[in-house]
């Protein structure tokens, strides 16, 4: 790190950071206990979503609205009587595995309903919509073929003994990936196995359109990124886990939109059927504005239930990284990407090259922190303020499977890659965090094939620990960095396989005493791993994260939430994080360097060491969020989480609350070249 004379603003940031540390508490001692998820600073929180509550007190409060009722037990006679007296007879939908009900009721009734003890939370049934050479640039090609290792040792007689071992390659075989999207065009060549069997093992519609194909065009593309084979164009468009099984859960309709209740129905189905199809990974390239705190939001809680059941859930960060003027915006991570237990994925731009030295963060990729909130009895908002995304993956101008006559290409002809004249082999472009998310979903499938005993939290930690930090971008833009499948699979293979029955806190995590070398070389470019993981508002770093079993790796714990981890102690006592791990005090990194106390780090990024002043601690409810350099300006104001003078109230974009596919549908950012490889109709089976 270079020595620089701090500017007056930097010195001010340093002073502010010390105030932040005193105001919020760093929580590193053995006596620091997590706050209860249900007891904010000013008493019990309101059990109705803020937008639904506003409607309940507005001029249209008599309107009948669909709401999601989260229950902690059976309905009482009093609640049943209240609903029946207002003309509500029975639930529209019941999700038994989640204990949710979808009920239509007058908006004026929601506040009274929320006061019953058996009601956890009431929220609207919001609408939803979908928000390079991937296998090479992500390192997936490097783990697909068997690896032969030869070692020579000297025995007790002094004789040298040479042994050869073969580590099988990984391609997703046996792992089920559930694609929650707009359906799949199952006849596409990308979805066959080498025996010409379709790898889409189950399909179900949750939109009410009674079809499971893909008239919108988003789902087939997403599924092909995660698990497309390399038959077309000599494997130019090879997916990440080309032999994984796909479960097609159609939650977005022909226009690419859906509802929260539709997605909840699909998540509820996965909870009930995950073992039947060995669903170990769920991909959600969709989202809706994150309004309610993840502790209350029904989508977030359903995702948490899946993760606790052993399923990795990958969610798109969203595509709200810049405004119409091209200026960076912070704080617009979408739901359910604001859920701590999910792997939230932002988009990187590889510029169409396999080498990773030129990779950047796509300007449209949503940045953290999460701005979902709860409201206490005094009307004070308590923001989640979690560092997201968790990582990034290539998501710009990705070429993958095209479903025939789909709406996206019909409305945007430039998305047609014109690879083949055959519908079953043609490809299309799409850009967005919708495309980067299935890259990570496919990577998770490879890790679980390499080591089936990994928990979702271990998968997430391994992916973050081995990620490549990208220069000139802070953690609110890239999380731990860009996904590195070569390093992640290598580390996953080194993890003990007997941790299902034995989980010694602080005990050995690896099969050997020597951890893997923390660097990777992909397409001739060598880089160091991040060697850390995100812990909510903190950054944990150190080899103990992979050499010692960490309690947060267990089912039921939360890697990325230092506020509520089973009511336990935050760090440094062997309950949540064992010894040997360095935990930051809420800072942001760049180039893999931790910046604390407001210092200026080597690439000119300036950050304070506290992202949150703590509600009620100051006139400001949010701390310092800066763009890439001080020249962009710093804004600190109530509810403002954007740089360059752009103000978005409370960090939430006013929208129609549609859950949408997270794709920049009209194309992405510039590429050095398009690298389109025409298909000659010959199947490549060497993938």
| Catalytic machinery residues | 181, 218, 434
246 by DSSP, 3-state: which?
A: strand
CA distance 227 to 134: 11
Strand partners for 482: 392, 468
- Confirm if 347 and 367 have CB atoms less than 8 A apart: no
- Confirm if 361 and 347 have CB atoms less than 8 A apart: yes
- Confirm if 396 and 348 have CB atoms less than 8 A apart: yes
User: How many Å separate Cα 352 from the centre of its chain?
Assistant: 23
Provide the strand spans (E) within 458-612.
519-522, 525-528, 532-535, 538-541, 582-583, 588-590, 593-595
- Confirm if 585 and 610 have CB atoms less than 8 A apart: yes
Burial environment of residue 563 by CB neighbours within 10 A (0 to 12, 13 to 18, 19 or more): buried
What single-letter DSSP state applies at residue 551?
A: G
- Confirm if 217 and 284 have CB atoms less than 8 A apart: no
CA distance 263 to 180: 8
Q: What is the CA radius of gyration of the chain?
A: 24
**Which residues have a Cβ under 8 Å from the Cβ of 230 and sit 6 or more positions away?**
135, 236, 237, 238, 239, 242, 684, 686, 687
Residue holding tokens 């991570």? Answer: 333
Strand partners for 659: 258
DSSP H helix total and E strand total for the chain: 15, 32
Other Cβ atoms less than 10 A from the Cβ of 429: the count is 26
594 by DSSP, 3-state: which?
A: strand
Q: Which residues of 464-486 are buried (b: 16+ CB within 10 A; e: fewer)?
A: bbbbbbbeebbbbbbbbbbbbbb
Phi, psi of 397 (to 5 degrees): 50, 55
The string of DSSP letters for 620-642 reads: -SS--EE-SSGGG-EE--TT--B
Residue holding tokens 């704080």? Answer: 331
Nearest CA among 346, 336, 451 for reference residue 390: 346
And the tokens for 638? 């109530």
HEC sequence for 346-413: EEEECCCCCCCCCCEECCCCCECCCCCEEEECCCCEEECCCCCCCEEEECCCEEEECCCCCHHHHHCH
- Confirm if 471 and 463 have CB atoms less than 8 A apart: no
Cis-peptide, bond into residue 389, ω within 30° of zero = yes
And the tokens for 86? 């207002």
Nearest CA among 5, 19, 137 for reference residue 614: 19
And the tokens for 200? 């889409």
And the tokens for 639? 């509810």
Residue holding tokens 């995660």? Answer: 226
Phi, psi of 266 (to 5 degrees): -70, -40
486 by DSSP, 3-state: which?
A: helix
């Amino acid at each position: 790190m270079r020595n620089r004379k701090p500017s007056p603003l930097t010195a001010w940031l340093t002073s502010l950071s010390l105030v932040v540390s005193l105001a919020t508490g760093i929580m590193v001692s053995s006596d620091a206990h997590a706050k209860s998820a249900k007891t904010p600073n000013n008493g019990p929180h309101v059990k109705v979503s803020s937008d639904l509550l506003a409607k309940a007190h507005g001029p249209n409060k008599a309107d009948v609205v669909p709401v999601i009722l989260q229950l902690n037990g059976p309905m009482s006679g009093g609640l049943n009587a209240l609903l029946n007296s207002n003309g509500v007879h029975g639930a529209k939908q019941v999700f038994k595995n989640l204990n949710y009900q979808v009920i239509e009721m007058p908006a004026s009734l929601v506040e009274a309903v929320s006061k019953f003890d058996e009601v956890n939370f009431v929220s609207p049934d919001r609408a939803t919509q979908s928000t390079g050479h991937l296998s090479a640039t992500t390192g997936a090609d490097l783990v697909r073929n068997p690896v032969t290792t030869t070692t020579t040792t000297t025995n007790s007689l002094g004789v040298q003994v040479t042994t050869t071992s073969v580590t099988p390659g990984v391609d997703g075989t046996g792992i089920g990936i559930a694609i929650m999207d707009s359906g799949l065009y199952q006849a596409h060549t990308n979805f066959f196995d080498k025996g010409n069997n379709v790898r889409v093992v189950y399909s179900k519609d949750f939109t009410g359109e009674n079809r499971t194909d893909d008239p919108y065009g988003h789902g087939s593309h997403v599924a092909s990124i995660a698990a497309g084979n390399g038959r077309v164009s000599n494997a130019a468009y090879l997916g990440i886990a080309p032999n994984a099984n796909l479960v097609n859960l159609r939650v977005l309709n022909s226009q690419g939109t859906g509802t929260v209740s539709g997605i909840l129905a699909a998540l509820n189905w996965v909870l009930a059927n995950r073992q039947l199809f060995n669903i170990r990974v769920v991909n959600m390239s969709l989202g809706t504005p994150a309004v309610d705190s993840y502790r209350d939001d029904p989508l977030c809680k359903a995702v948490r239930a899946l993760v606790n059941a052993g399923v990795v859930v990958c969610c798109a960060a969203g595509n709200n990284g810049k405004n119409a003027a091209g200026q960076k915006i912070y704080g617009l991570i979408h739901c359910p990407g604001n859920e701590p237990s999910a792997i939230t994925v932002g988009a990187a731009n590889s510029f169409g090259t396999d080498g990773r030295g030129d990779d950047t963060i796509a300007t449209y990729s949503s940045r953290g922190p999460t701005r979902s909130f709860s409201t206490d009895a005094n009307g004070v908002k308590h923001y989640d303020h979690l560092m997201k995304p968790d990582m990034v993956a290539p998501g710009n101008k990705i070429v993958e499977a095209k479903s025939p006559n789909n709406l996206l290409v019909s409305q945007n002809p430039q998305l047609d890659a014109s690879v083949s004249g055959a519908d079953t082999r043609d490809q299309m472009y799409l850009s967005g965090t919708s495309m980067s998310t299935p890259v990570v979903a496919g990577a998770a499938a490879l890790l679980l094939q390499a080591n089936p005993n990994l928990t979702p939290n271990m998968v997430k930690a391994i992916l973050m620990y081995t990620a490549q930090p990208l220069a000139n971008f802070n953690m609110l833009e890239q999380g731990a960095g860009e996904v590195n499948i070569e390093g992640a699979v290598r580390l996953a293979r080194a993890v003990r396989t007997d941790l299902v029955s034995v989980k010694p806190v602080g005990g050995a995590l690896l099969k050997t005493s020597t951890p893997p070398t923390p660097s990777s070389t992909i397409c001739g470019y060598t880089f160091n791993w991040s060697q850390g993981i995100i812990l909510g508002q903190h950054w944990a770093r150190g080899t103990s994260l992979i050499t010692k079993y960490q309690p947060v790796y267990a089912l039921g714990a939360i890697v990325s939430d230092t506020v509520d981890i089973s009511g336990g102690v935050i760090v440094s006592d062997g309950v949540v994080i064992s010894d040997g791990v360095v935990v930051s005090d809420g800072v942001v990194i760049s180039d893999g360097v931790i910046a604390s106390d407001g210092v200026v780090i080597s690439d000119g990024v300036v950050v304070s060491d506290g992202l949150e002043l703590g509600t009620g601690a100051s006139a400001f409810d949010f701390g310092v969020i800066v763009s890439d350099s001080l020249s962009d300006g710093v804004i600190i104001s109530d509810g403002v989480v954007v740089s360059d003078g752009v103000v978005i109230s409370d960090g939430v974009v006013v929208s129609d609350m549609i859950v949408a596919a997270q794709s920049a549908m009209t194309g992405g950012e510039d590429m050095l070249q398009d690298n389109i490889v025409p298909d000659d109709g010959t199947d490549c089976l060497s993938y």
